[in-house]
Amino acid sequence: MTMRQALRRHYAGLVTSGAQLVLLVAAAQSESREVWLVCLGLMALISLFAWMSALRRLWAVRDTPTSRVASAAQGYVELIGRGRPLAGSPLIGKLSVLPCLWYRYQVERRDSDNKWHTEDRGESQDAFVLDDGSAVCVIDPFGAEILTRHKDTWRRGDYRYTEWKLLENDPLYAIGQFRTLGGGSAEIDPGEELKAVLTEWKQDSKKLHARFDLDGNGVLDMKEWALARQAARREAQKRVAEVRAMPDTHCMAQPHDGRLFLVSNLPPDQLARRYGFWAWGHLLIFFVALTGAGGLLGWGRGWGQ
Residue 161 to residue 109: CA distance in whole angstroms: 9
The full DSSP string for 160-199 is: EEEEEEE-TT-EEEEEEEEEEESGGG----HHHHHHHHHH
Provide the pLDDT for residue 242: 67
- Is the model's pTM score more than 0.75? no
Mean pLDDT, to the nearest integer, of 203-220? 83
Provide the pLDDT for residue 41: 81
Of residues 182, 186, 212, the one with CA closest to residue 198: 212
pLDDT in tens, 143-172: 999 999 999 999 999 999 999 999 999 999
State which of 227-231, 242-246, 264-268 shows the largest mean pLDDT: 264-268
pLDDT in tens, 91-145: 999 999 999 999 999 999 999 888 899 999 999 999 999 999 999 999 999 999 9
Provide the pLDDT for residue 4: 47
pLDDT band at 245 (very low <50, low <70, confident <90, very high): low
Provide the pLDDT for residue 183: 60
Residue 166 to residue 171: CA distance in whole angstroms: 9
Provide the pLDDT for residue 84: 95
Residue 302 to residue 104: CA distance in whole angstroms: 51
Say if residue 13's pLDDT is above 60: no
119 in helix, strand or coil?
strand
Beta bridge partners of 99: 92
